[in-house]
């Protein structure tokens, strides 16, 4: 036996209370009138004679008995958590949107109250309530009492995260797909027609519309960088997009670099519902770029955004004395590289020679000693196949005409990888002969430039980091949303806006950048059936049972007081 | 709270005394050994009233020889005369707990009935003894005659206090073991013994006396005015019974009561004992007069 509504201890205490109540009622009902008699002798005989008869004739007050039986049964069934059969073969999942858009005024509080009211009317064993704010949190498991939901709702609130309910929705449908499911979304979740079509027919999707937004709002809906169009190597162009809802005014945002105001006149461009601002030639040295709009509106979570700019400082390169001049020319013409031995972080040297410092190096190797025309030495602990697959493209090796090179040298041209304590990129020295096709090809400066950047550890950083969107954080082990993965390139998804620290990678600063949260309707979203009937659930079966028992108790008391029943 | 016994003044009510004095108890024969009184004795001897003749045997009192018959017939006959002695009347009032219950307890009618029968005996110079009983029998007054006895009987009756639980077998068994002169045993009781009517019959059957039973009843004994769920407490033992008085239970109660009454009646018929039912809520003497409807109670 289990109790659907209360803990076991409370259930047992409740049963004891019922037993005590019935006992008290029975005492009230029988209420023997004490009489002292001299003829107890005959009464005893009479009772014994009557008792000797069949039980049914001894049975007294059948209507009273039926009334008591009905009351007791109602109480028992209500405490046992009797549930109707309707809907028991279906599971009900309530998704409470905890995204940033719900922080608009008191929308979340009202939506949470509506979700709780709706959940209370669902079958206890078939209902689940999930909070979808950045990461999913189960607020009410199947079989738990709705009182727990009210208590847990007090501990959650909207966070600076985009609407993530769609991902949870598909996760739910995929798990136990054979069970018909009714998903009720409480909040702003926009669902496109394609997304709706992906849901199985057994999944009913309903929406308990969140309270409407009131007042205007301006938010940062996009923030990103790209290499400076002016070709300045140490600068980037920054794009800031503002969206407005409710007729709010869109003026250029304020920018700060590492906490210091940075003033510039942006190039503005309007679009439907917003305005983009482009800031050119912003120096990129790894500073934190903060963007904020000055508007004081109903939603503050989208009023600011931040982005960690890439470090585009020139990479100092040390070049050995016997290195062919063609490489010196390539390094000299690359705006991101500079030949400077003093503080060099990478080197270019001939095989068998050493420099003052032991640096990651581009080595011109001897074909007689090295089997591979291109030999990549990477950090230990990485998957060599993954490293090869990634660098084959990133270093431009796929652009090399290997057949021509092999024909010129008279040997097979191959690429090899190996783990080592220090990064190294080795290439056969004969391939760099001036009259060789590889040197004359357009892939050669690309190979040298990208190779030196890889040796220096400079990764092409993300151009945009937004909450809810995946981002590549490098070729090291990262922890993404509690999952530890080990691969060459992990796509990381910051769930909530703010500074995040992936394991083994540089910190990131994710921004909200969610037009839906700001109030911009999502293009292509379809209307979901609104949940209108049944919200609040009316009276559930247990409440009806208890009310019926209460009415019968009152009727029984009236009948007893009027001496119609003993 | 138990009632009290009637006071001596209540028992000596002049009207009551006058009415009781009309009762007479006539014994067909009384046992020998008593004092001279008005009851015909089984002993034939030196009385005043001629009864018969018989032949002389050596040792007879020569004063009883009828010399006239000797002169006519030449044979010696003795003249025999009736002897008149007293009838010992043993009054055994029940003073158990049940007798003292209610606003008009049975004990009042019981003691008045006892006193009335005692008066009837004392008025004709019979001896009267008083043996109240409950769980045990007690000798309150040994059997003696005389006018002064009336006062003592009244005082003894007025001084009765509630006894314990009725036990006919123990009480009347003790009385039987006293081996008193044969006489009249008057039992005044409700005859509600926990052992049932069998205990009553057994205890009375062991008596060597003539028995008169005065049963103290109420109308409510047969038709109790009780309905509903009751906690009935035996006034003597304190034992409780949960009884839901329904028509069926009431009918069973009446059957049990009538069976009890029928058993007493049968016993009285078989033993040729007197049985009179005295309603305690009605005047006692008119009801007792049933015993004397032929002018006297012949025992």
Q: Are A81 and A116 in contact (CB under 8 A)?
A: no
How far apart (Å, rounded) are the C-alpha atoms in residues B284 and B117?
11
Reported CATH class of domain A217-312:
mainly beta
Q: Would you state the pLDDT for residue A540? A: 67
Contact A38 B253 (CB under 8 A): no
Q: How many residues does chain B have?
A: 299
Q: What is the pLDDT of residues B66-105, one digit of tens each?
A: 899 889 988 888 887 776 677 899 999 999 999 998 888 9
Interface test with A, best of B234, B238, B250, B255 (most A CBs within 10 A): B234
Query: For A292-300, what is the mean pLDDT?
Result: 79
Question: Which of the four pLDDT bands, split at 50, 70 and 90, describes residue A522?
Answer: low
pLDDT at A348 over 90: yes
Residue owning tokens 């007197």: B274
Contact A38 B98 (CB under 8 A): yes
Q: Would you state the pLDDT for residue B47? A: 64
Question: Which of the four pLDDT bands, split at 50, 70 and 90, describes residue A526?
Answer: low
Of B196, B231, B239, the CB nearest to A33: B231
Q: Is B131 left (phi over 0), alpha (psi -120 to 50) or beta?
A: beta
Closest chain A CA to residue B1: A36
Report all structural domains of chain B as residue ranges with CATH numbers, in order of start: 8-26+87-298 (3.40.50.410), 36-85 (no CATH)
Q: Which residues contact A236 (CB under 8 A, 6 or more apart)?
A: A225, A226, A227, A228, A281, A282, A284, A309, A310, A312
Task: Please tell me the least confidently modeled range out of A203-207, B176-180, B198-202.
Answer: A203-207
More confident residue, A528 or A443: A443
Q: Would you state the pLDDT for residue A57? A: 46
The alpha carbons of chain A give a radius of gyration, in whole angstroms, of 38
Q: Are A518 and A162 in contact (CB under 8 A)?
A: no
Closest chain B CA to residue A45: B256
Q: What is the pLDDT of residues A364-399, one digit of tens each?
A: 999 889 999 999 999 888 888 888 888 888 888 887
Q: Are A32 and B231 in contact (CB under 8 A)?
A: yes
A24 CA to chain B: closest CA distance, Å? 16
pLDDT at A119 over 80: yes
Size of interface A-B (CB pairs under 8 A): 90
Backbone angles phi and psi of A245, in degrees to 5: -130, 145
Closest chain A CA to residue B97: A38
Give chain B's mean pLDDT. 85
Contact B256 A46 (CB under 8 A): yes
pLDDT over 90 for what percent of chain A?
15
- A91-213+522-535 and A217-312, same CATH topology: no
- CA torsion sign for A379, A382, A383, A387 is negative
B159 CA to chain A: closest CA distance, Å? 23
Q: For residue A415, how far is the Cα from the chain centroid?
A: 40
Q: What is the pLDDT of residues B270-296, one digit of tens each?
A: 988 889 999 999 988 888 887 776 656
Q: For residue A243, how far is the Cα from the chain centroid?
A: 23
More confident residue, B148 or A4: B148
Q: Would you state the pLDDT for residue A276? A: 92
Q: What is the pLDDT of residues B213-230, one digit of tens each?
A: 999 999 999 999 888 878
A35 CA to chain B: closest CA distance, Å? 5
From the candidate CATH numbers 3.40.50.410, 3.40.50.2000, 3.40.50.10320, 3.40.50.300, the one assigned to the domain spanning A91-213+522-535: 3.40.50.410
Q: Which residues contact A237 (CB under 8 A, 6 or more apart)?
A: A225, A226, A227, A228, A229, A278, A279, A280, A281, A282
Count CB atoms within 10 A of the CB of residue B110: 29
What residues in B contact A44, CB-CB < 8 Å?
A: 241
Q: Would you state the pLDDT for residue B43? A: 61
Of B226, B253, B255, the CB nearest to A35: B226
Q: What is the pLDDT of residues A446-483, one digit of tens each?
A: 899 989 998 998 877 778 888 877 777 654 444 444 34
Contact B229 A44 (CB under 8 A): no
Closest chain B CA to residue A563: B228
Question: Which of the four pLDDT bands, split at 50, 70 and 90, describes residue A274?
Answer: confident
Of A31, A36, A43, the CB nearest to B243: A43
How far apart (Å, rounded) are the C-alpha atoms in residues A124 and A205?
20
pLDDT at A281 over 80: yes
Task: Please tell me the least confidently modeled range out of A40-44, A57-61, B55-59.
Answer: A57-61
Of A33, A40, A53, the CB nearest to B234: A40
3 state SS for A492-539: ECCCCCEEECCCCCCCEEEECCCHHHHCCCCCCEECCEECCCCCCCCC
What residues in A contact B229, CB-CB < 8 Å?
A: 30-33, 566
What residues in A contact B3, CB-CB < 8 Å?
A: none
**Interface of chain A toward chain B, CB-CB under 8 angstroms:** 30-47, 49-50, 53, 57, 60, 566
Q: What is the pLDDT of residues A11-31, one digit of tens each?
A: 667 667 766 766 666 555 556
How far apart (Å, rounded) are the C-alpha atoms in residues A219 and A197?
31
B254 CA to chain A: closest CA distance, Å? 8
B125-160 burial, b at 16+ Cβ within 10 Å, e below that, comes to: bbbbbbbbbbeebeebbebbbeeebbebbbebbbeb
Contact A35 B244 (CB under 8 A): no
So where are chain A's domains?
8-80, 91-213+522-535, 217-312, 315-456
Q: Are A188 and A494 in contact (CB under 8 A)?
A: no
Of A33, A38, A44, the CB nearest to B241: A44
How far apart (Å, rounded) are the C-alpha atoms in residues B121 and A288?
135
Q: What is the pLDDT of residues A169-222, one digit of tens each?
A: 777 777 777 788 888 888 877 777 777 777 788 888 888 877 777 777 888 999
Of A35, A46, A566, the CB nearest to B249: A46
Task: Please tell me the least confidently modeled range out of B38-52, B140-154, B259-273.
Answer: B38-52
Task: Please tell me the least confidently modeled range out of B7-16, B29-38, B196-205.
Answer: B29-38
How far apart (Å, rounded) are the C-alpha atoms in residues A285 and A313?
6
């Amino acid at each position: 036996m289990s109790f659907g509504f209360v803990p076991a201890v409370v259930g047992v205490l409740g049963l004891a209370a019922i037993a005590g109540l019935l006992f008290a009622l029975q005492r009230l009902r029988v209420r023997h009138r004490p009489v002292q008699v001299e003829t107890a002798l005959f009464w005893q005989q009479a009772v014994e004679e009557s008792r000797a008869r069949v039980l049914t004739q001894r049975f007294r007050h059948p209507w009273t008995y039926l009334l008591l039986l009905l009351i007791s049964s109602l109480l028992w069934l209500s405490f046992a958590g009797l549930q109707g059969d309707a809907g028991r073969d279906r599971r009900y999942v309530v998704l409470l949107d905890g995204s940033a858009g719900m922080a608009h005024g008191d929308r979340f509080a009202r939506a949470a109250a509506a979700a709780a009211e709706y959940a209370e009317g669902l079958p206890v064993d078939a209902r689940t309530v999930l909070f979808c704010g950045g990461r999913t949190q189960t607020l009410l498991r199947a079989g738990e009492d709705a009182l727990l939901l009210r208590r847990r709702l007090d501990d959650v609130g909207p966070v600076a995260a985009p609407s993530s309910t769609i991902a949870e929705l598909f996760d739910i449908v995929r798990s136990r797909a054979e069970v018909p499911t009714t998903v009720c979304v409480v909040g702003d979740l926009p669902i496109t027609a394609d997304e709706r079509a992906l849901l199985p027919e057994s999944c009913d999707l309903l929406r308990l519309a969140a309270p409407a937004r009131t007042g205007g709002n301006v938010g940062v809906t996009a923030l990103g960088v790209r290499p400076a169009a002016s070709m300045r190597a140490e600068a980037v162009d920054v794009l800031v997009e503002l969206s407005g809802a409710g007729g709010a005014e869109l003026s250029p945002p304020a920018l700060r670099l590492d906490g210091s105001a940075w003033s510039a006149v942006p190039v503005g461009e309007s679009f439907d519902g917003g305005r983009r601002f482009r800031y050119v030639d912003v120096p990129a040295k790894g500073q934190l770029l903060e963007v904020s709009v000055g508007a004081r509106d109903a939603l503050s979570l989208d009023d600011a955004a931040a982005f960690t700019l890439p470090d585009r400082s020139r990479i100092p390169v040390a070049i050995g004395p016997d290195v062919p001049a063609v490489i010196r020319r390539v390094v000299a013409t690359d705006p991101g590289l500079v030949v400077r031995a003093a503080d060099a972080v990478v080197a270019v040297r001939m095989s068998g020679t050493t420099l003052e410092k032991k640096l990651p190096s581009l080595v011109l190797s001897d074909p007689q000693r090295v089997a591979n025309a291109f030999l990549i030495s990477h950090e230990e602990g990485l998957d060599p196949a993954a490293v090869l697959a990634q660098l084959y493209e990133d270093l431009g090796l796929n652009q090399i005409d290997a057949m021509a090179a092999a024909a010129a040298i008279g040997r097979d041209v191959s690429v090899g990888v190996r783990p080592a304590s220090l990064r190294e990129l080795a290439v056969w020295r004969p391939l760099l002969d001036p009259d060789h096709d590889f040197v004359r090809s357009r892939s050669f400066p690309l190979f040298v430039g990208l190779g030196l950047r890889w040796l220096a550890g400079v990764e092409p950083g993300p151009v945009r980091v937004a909450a809810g969107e995946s981002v590549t954080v490098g070729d090291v082990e990262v922890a993404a949303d509690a999952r530890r993965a080990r691969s060459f390139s992990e796509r990381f998804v910051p769930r909530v806006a703010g500074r995040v620290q992936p394991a083994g990678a540089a910190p990131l600063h994710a921004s909200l950048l969610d037009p839906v949260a700001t109030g911009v309707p999502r293009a292509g979203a379809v209307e979901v059936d609104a949940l209108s009937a049944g919200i609040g659930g009316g009276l559930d079966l247990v409440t009806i049972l208890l009310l019926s028992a209460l009415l019968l108790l009152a009727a029984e008391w009236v009948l007893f007081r009027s001496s119609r029943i003993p | 709270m138990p009632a009290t016994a009637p006071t001596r003044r209540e028992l000596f009510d002049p009207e009551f005394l006058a009415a009781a004095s009309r009762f007479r108890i006539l014994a067909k024969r009384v046992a020998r050994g008593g004092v001279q009184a008005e009851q015909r004795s089984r002993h034939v001897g030196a009385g005043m009233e001629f009864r018969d003749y018989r032949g002389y045997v050596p040792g007879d009192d020569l004063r009883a020889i009828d010399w006239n018959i000797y002169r006519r017939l030449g044979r010696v006959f003795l003249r025999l005369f009736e002897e008149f002695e007293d009838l010992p009347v043993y009054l055994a009032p029940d003073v158990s707990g049940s007798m003292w219950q209610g606003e008009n307890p049975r004990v009042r009618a019981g003691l008045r009935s006892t006193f009335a029968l005692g008066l009837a005996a004392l008025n004709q110079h019979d001896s009267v003894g008083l043996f109240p009983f409950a769980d045990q029998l007690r000798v309150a007054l040994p059997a003696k005659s005389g006018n002064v006895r009336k006062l003592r009987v009244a005082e003894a009756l007025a001084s009765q206090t509630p006894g314990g639980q009725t036990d006919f077998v123990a009480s009347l068994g003790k009385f039987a073991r006293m081996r008193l002169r044969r006489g009249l045993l008057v039992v005044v009781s409700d005859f509600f013994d926990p052992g049932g009517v069998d205990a009553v019959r057994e205890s009375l059957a062991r008596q060597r006396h003539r028995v008169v039973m005065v049963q103290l009843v109420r109308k409510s004994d047969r038709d109790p005015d009780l309905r509903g769920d009751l906690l009935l407490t035996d006034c003597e033992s304190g034992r409780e019974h949960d009884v839901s008085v329904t028509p069926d239970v009431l009918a069973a109660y009446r059957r049990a009561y009538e069976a009890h009454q029928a058993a007493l009646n049968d016993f009285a018929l078989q033993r040729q004992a007197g049985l009179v039912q005295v309603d305690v809520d009605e005047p006692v003497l008119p009801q007792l007069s049933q015993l004397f409807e032929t002018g006297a109670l012949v025992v």
